[in-house]
Amino acid sequence: MVDTHDADAFPAAAWRTRILRLVFGGGALILVVASAASARDLETRERGLIPSGTTGVVVVDLSLSIADEDYDAVRRAFRRLVSENASIGLVVFSDVAYELLPPGTPASELRPMLRLLVPPRLGPVVNPWTQAFRAGTKISAALDLARHMLERDGVRSGSILLVSDLETAPDDVPSLARTVQSLRQGSIQLRVLGLAPSTDAQLIFAGLLQEGAFEAPVADGAQGPEAESEIRVGAPRTLLLLGMLFFLALAVHERYSGRLAITGRRSPA
């Protein structure tokens, strides 16, 4: 508190201070709002193979066109589903499709199947599908079965994860188009984890699927059964920059617009 007889001589300084306070205060408020908007877009977890909030059916291609190295990708996908504690059903297919697990099964039930997911020449003599599968591939039949499973069990928020090289029989393409359309009409999300698909196969599915349906390949590092789905993400630079500007605005506000209490002229004692 400074006592002065010239308190009435500072109207210009007082107005300038008010304007600066409004400018810096408003700027700080805008930065807070921008920071909040920027933070909403941050993703701290890797996107799950099964869309959040859905019960998924995993549809796995085990036809003869699947290469030896593709089985490694399938096993990694299974381990990732286990680590994500997903709720799933399971279909395996070639020219025909089989339901192995009903929708709502804990993904931990996939663990015993890992030993079966090896190339046929290295696998056990007998497994649930060896005797029935042939060389052909009909993806539409597998997707139809997955949709039927979701509808049969009354699943309202359903999704399908197709794990395949996307090579289907030429005469299956029209049926596949109709099946994908029916999934879309039924609000069943379809994602694809491609096993080294050819360019032609990718083009066919790119024309059928909605944007974002192609799932990124499973990382090679997700090897163990307890592999973490959470990943480290890069520093949110926009958020950090906005935060720095916010504190800078506050500092400038206090430096140039802080209140200086000045008393008016005192009457003689």
**Residue 44 pLDDT > 50:** no
Query: How far apart are alpha carbons 29 and 198 in whole angstroms?
Result: 52
Looking only at Cα atoms, what is the longest distance across the chain? 112
pLDDT tens-digit series, residues 52-89: 888 999 999 888 777 778 888 899 999 999 998 889 99
Per-residue pLDDT band for 35 (boundaries 50, 70, 90) equals low
Identify the CATH number of the domain defined by range 55-215: 3.40.50.410
pLDDT at 51: 85
Query: How far apart are alpha carbons 257 and 69 in whole angstroms?
Result: 67
pTM of the predicted structure, to 2 decimals? 0.62
**Residue 106 pLDDT > 90:** yes
Query: How far apart are alpha carbons 136 and 169 in whole angstroms?
Result: 7
Q: Rounded mean pLDDT of 112-126? A: 68
Q: According to the per-residue pLDDT averaged within each range, which of 40-44, 62-66, 180-184 is highest?
A: 180-184
In percent, the amount of the chain with pLDDT more than 70 equals 57
**Residue 46 pLDDT > 50:** no
Local structure of residue 253 (DSSP, 8 states): H
Query: How far apart are alpha carbons 165 and 185 in whole angstroms?
Result: 25
**Residue 109 pLDDT > 90:** yes
Range with lowest mean pLDDT among 17-21, 146-150, 259-263: 259-263
Range with lowest mean pLDDT among 74-83, 84-93, 237-246, 260-269: 260-269
Question: Burial, 91: exposed, middle or buried (Cβ in 10 Å; 0-12, 13-18, 19+)?
Answer: buried
**Residue 230 pLDDT > 50:** no
Range with lowest mean pLDDT among 18-27, 46-55, 159-168: 18-27
- Roughly what angle, to the nearest 10 degrees, separates helices 173-185 and 199-208? 40
pLDDT tens-digit series, residues 121-175: 555 544 555 555 555 688 999 999 999 999 999 998 899 999 998 888 888 889 9
**Residue 235 pLDDT > 60:** no
Comparison of pLDDT for 167 and 220, the residue scoring more: 167
* 3-state SS assignment for residue 239: helix
CA 154, 160, 164, 170 torsion: positive or negative?
positive
- Any idea where the domains of the chain sit in the sequence? 2-42+234-263, 55-215
pLDDT at 20: 67
pLDDT at 156: 87
